[in-house]
Structure 1
Amino acid sequence: MTKDTVQTGMPSRLNTPIRFFGYFTPKDIIRMGVPAAAAHAVVQTAPPVHPGLVYGAAGLIGLAWWRLRPYRQTLDNLIGNFVRYLGESRGSIEVEGRELGYFSGADSALTAVLEVDPTHLEMQKPGRQKALRATYRDIFKSVDHPVHVYSCQQDLDLDDYREYVEEKATGHGELQESYSRYVDSLSDRGLTATTHYVVIRVEKGKTGWLSSWVPDTIRNRVGDDNEQDHCSQVSGLIRRCKHLRTELEAAGLNVDGLAGDQLEEFVETNSHSFSTGVTWTQKAGSDADGYRKSVYVHEFANNVPLGWPLSMLRIDGKVDVTQVIEPRKTGDAVKTLEKLKRKQDAELSTHISNGRSTSKLRRIGEEIDQIQDLLAKQEDVVVDYEAVLTAHSEDKQECRETFERLVRRLDTLQIDYRQPVTRTDLAARTENPLTGDPLDESLLMPGISAAAGFPFATHGIEDIGVVYGVDSSDRTPVVLDRWGWKSHSMARMGVTGSGKSYAAKLELLRLLLVHPNLQVYAVDPKQEYAALINYLGGTAQTLGSDTEYSFDSDYAVLVPEDRGDLESVEHMVDGLKQMYSAASRDDRKTLILIDEAKRLLEHEAGRHAFNQFVLEARDTNTAITAISQSARHFTDYREGRDILDNMPGKVLMNHDNVTESMRDYFDLSQQEAQKIQGLATGDDAPYSESLLKVSDQVDAKLRVQSTDKEHDLIISASEARRTVSDSSAATIRNQ
Structure 2
Amino acid sequence: MKAEFPGSIDGSVRFIDRYTVWDALCTVALVLAGWAVARPLGPFVGAALGVVLAEVTPNGERIDKKVVDELRYVLSSPKVVCPKLSKMGDGSAVFDDGYVMGVVEVSSCDIEHLPEPDKRANRDVVAELLSGLDYRFEIHSRQRHVDLSECNGPGDTATATDHYVVVRVSASTVAKGHHEVKDRCTEIRNTLTAADLRAERLTGQRLKAVLNQLYFRKAKVSQGGYVVAQGRKPVRRMTYVSEYPEQMSLGWIADVLNAESPGLVDVVQVVEPVSDRQRDWMDRILARTDAELSASWKPFRQAGLQRQKQDLEDLIEADASGEPLVNYGVYFVARGENRVEAEETLETVQSVLNRSGVDTGEPGLYFNRGVKSVSAFHRDRLKKKEIVPGSSAAAGFAFAAYDTVEPGGIVVGEDHRNNMPVVLDRFSWEAGHTAVMGKIGSGKTYWTGLTLVRSVQEYDDLEIYVIDPKKRDYGGIVEALKGETVVIDNGLSRSRSSNITRYTVQDPSRDNTARLAETVRHVYREASKTDSKSLVVIDEVHRIITRADEIYRDGLQAVSTLVRESRDKDIAATLVTQNADEFVRSTEGENILRNIDCNLFFRQRDVDSEVTDFFHLSEKESSELRKLRSGTKLPFSEALVRGPVNTRLRIESTRPEHTLFENGIEGLRSGGNNNRVQPSNTPGQASSGVETDGGHQSKDTETNTSDSDSERYGLAEVFNLTFAGPLGLFEYVLYPTFFAALLLSFVTGLQPFHPIGPFTPKDSVGLDAALSVVSAEILWVLGLSLYRWMTQP
TM normalised by structure 1 equals 0.76
C-alpha contact (below 8 Å) 2:106/2:199 kept by paired residues = yes
- Structure 1 residues 260 and 668, CA, compared in 2 at 3 Å: closer, same or farther? closer
Match of residue 189, structure 1, among 157, 160, 176: 157
Offset of 1:281 from its aligned partner? 1.3
- Separation in 2, partners of 1:153, 1:280: 19
Give CA-to-partner distance per residue, 1:673-707, whole Å, 9 cap, x none.
4544454444566543333223xx43344333433
Match of residue 581, structure 1, among 522, 535, 544: 522
- Separation in 2, partners of 1:538, 1:263: 43
The residue type paired with residue 180 of structure 2 is R
Larger mean CA deviation between 449-458 and 274-283 belongs to 449-458
- Separation in 2, partners of 1:22, 1:598: 76
In the alignment, which residue of structure 2 is the partner of 1:91? 79
In the alignment, which residue of structure 1 is the partner of 2:388? 445
Correspondence list, 1:24-423, <5 A: 25=20, 45=40, 62=51, 66=55, 68-70=57-59, 73-101=61-89, 102-104=93-95, 108-120=97-109, 122=111, 126-127=116-117, 130-139=120-129, 143-156=133-146, 180=150, 182=152, 188-189=156-157, 191-202=159-170, 232-251=172-191, 252=193, 253-257=198-202, 262-263=207-208, 266=211, 270-284=215-229, 286=230, 288-316=232-260, 317-329=263-275, 331-349=276-294, 353-356=297-300, 361-377=305-321, 379-423=322-366
Offset of 1:126 from its aligned partner? 4.8
Offset of 1:302 from its aligned partner? 3.0
- Separation in 2, partners of 1:238, 1:196: 18
In the alignment, which residue of structure 2 is the partner of 1:708? 655
Give CA-to-partner distance per residue, 1:199-230, whole Å, 9 cap, x none.
3132xxxx6xxxxxxxxxxxxxxxxxxxxxxx
Q: For residue 440 of structure 1, give the secondary structure of its aligned residue in structure 2.
A: coil
Offset of 1:511 from its aligned partner? 2.5
Q: Which runs of 5 or more residues in structure 1 are unaligned?
A: 1-5, 159-178, 208-231, 731-735
Q: For residue 87 of structure 2, give the secondary structure of its aligned residue in structure 1.
A: coil
Correspondence list, 1:717-728, <5 A: 717=664
The residue type paired with residue 691 of structure 1 is L
C-alpha contact (below 8 Å) 1:146/1:325 kept by paired residues = yes
Q: For residue 341 of structure 2, give the secondary structure of its aligned residue in structure 1.
A: helix
Give CA-to-partner distance per residue, 1:324-376, whole Å, 9 cap, x none.
212133x323302202212332343356x434486665454333223323333
Q: For residue 143 of structure 2, give the secondary structure of its aligned residue in structure 1.
A: strand
- Structure 1 residues 359 and 493, CA, compared in 2 at 3 Å: closer, same or farther? farther
Q: For residue 352 of structure 2, give the secondary structure of its aligned residue in structure 1.
A: helix
- Separation in 1, partners of 2:583, 2:61: 60
- Structure 1 residues 388 and 414, CA, compared in 2 at 3 Å: closer, same or farther? same
- Structure 1 residues 671 and 278, CA, compared in 2 at 3 Å: closer, same or farther? farther
Match of residue 603, structure 2, among 639, 650, 654: 654
Match of residue 14, structure 1, among 9, 17, 26: 9
Give CA-to-partner distance per residue, 1:147-186, whole Å, 9 cap, x none.
233222333256xxxxxxxxxxxxxxxxxxxx83648x85
The residue type paired with residue 247 of structure 2 is N
Offset of 1:89 from its aligned partner? 1.3
2:475 is the counterpart of 1:530: yes
In the alignment, which residue of structure 1 is the partner of 2:785? none
For this pair of structures, how many residues does the alignment match? 648
- Separation in 1, partners of 2:377, 2:313: 38
C-alpha contact (below 8 Å) 2:329/2:386 kept by paired residues = yes
Give CA-to-partner distance per residue, 1:396-432, whole Å, 9 cap, x none.
2111111111111112222222111222221111111
In the alignment, which residue of structure 2 is the partner of 1:217? none
C-alpha contact (below 8 Å) 1:147/1:326 kept by paired residues = yes
- Separation in 1, partners of 2:282, 2:256: 31
Offset of 1:501 from its aligned partner? 1.5
- Structure 1 residues 21 and 629, CA, compared in 2 at 3 Å: closer, same or farther? farther
In the alignment, which residue of structure 2 is the partner of 1:643? 592
C-alpha contact (below 8 Å) 1:194/1:460 kept by paired residues = no
Offset of 1:505 from its aligned partner? 0.2
The residue type paired with residue 424 of structure 1 is F
User: Could you say which structure has the larger radius of gyration?
Assistant: 2
Q: Which runs of 5 or more residues in structure 2 are unaligned?
A: 675-793
- Separation in 2, partners of 1:119, 1:85: 39
Offset of 1:277 from its aligned partner? 2.1
C-alpha contact (below 8 Å) 1:149/1:199 kept by paired residues = no
- Structure 1 residues 668 and 442, CA, compared in 2 at 3 Å: closer, same or farther? same
- Separation in 2, partners of 1:36, 1:689: 75
TM normalised by structure 2 equals 0.71
Offset of 1:245 from its aligned partner? 1.4
- Separation in 2, partners of 1:73, 1:234: 43
Q: For residue 246 of structure 1, give the secondary structure of its aligned residue in structure 2.
A: helix
C-alpha contact (below 8 Å) 1:614/1:624 kept by paired residues = no
C-alpha contact (below 8 Å) 2:141/2:161 kept by paired residues = no
In the alignment, which residue of structure 2 is the partner of 1:617? 562
Offset of 1:542 from its aligned partner? 7.2
The residue type paired with residue 689 of structure 1 is E
Q: For residue 317 of structure 2, give the secondary structure of its aligned residue in structure 1.
A: helix
- Separation in 1, partners of 2:215, 2:668: 48
Q: For residue 532 of structure 1, give the secondary structure of its aligned residue in structure 2.
A: helix
Q: For residue 89 of structure 1, give the secondary structure of its aligned residue in structure 2.
A: coil
Offset of 1:615 from its aligned partner? 1.7
- Separation in 2, partners of 1:367, 1:541: 73
- Separation in 1, partners of 2:367, 2:623: 45
Give CA-to-partner distance per residue, 1:439-474, whole Å, 9 cap, x none.
111111233333334544554844444332344446
Q: For residue 689 of structure 1, give the secondary structure of its aligned residue in structure 2.
A: strand
Match of residue 424, structure 1, among 348, 356, 367: 367
- Separation in 1, partners of 2:314, 2:210: 45
- Separation in 1, partners of 2:238, 2:361: 9
The residue type paired with residue 710 of structure 1 is E
Correspondence list, 1:632-711, <5 A: 632=581, 634-635=583-584, 640-682=589-631, 686-694=635-643, 697-711=644-658
- Separation in 1, partners of 2:58, 2:633: 51
Offset of 1:259 from its aligned partner? 5.6
Correspondence list, 1:395-544, <5 A: 395-458=338-401, 459=403, 461-473=405-417, 477-513=421-457, 514=459, 516-525=461-470, 527-537=472-482
- Separation in 1, partners of 2:277, 2:649: 49
- Separation in 2, partners of 1:455, 1:245: 19
Larger mean CA deviation between 641-650 and 12-21 belongs to 12-21
Identity of aligned residues (%): 23
Offset of 1:616 from its aligned partner? 0.6
2:504 is the counterpart of 1:558: yes
Q: For residue 288 of structure 1, give the secondary structure of its aligned residue in structure 2.
A: coil
Larger mean CA deviation between 82-91 and 37-46 belongs to 37-46
2:598 is the counterpart of 1:608: no
- Separation in 1, partners of 2:636, 2:29: 66
Larger mean CA deviation between 138-147 and 35-44 belongs to 35-44
- Structure 1 residues 726 and 440, CA, compared in 2 at 3 Å: closer, same or farther? closer
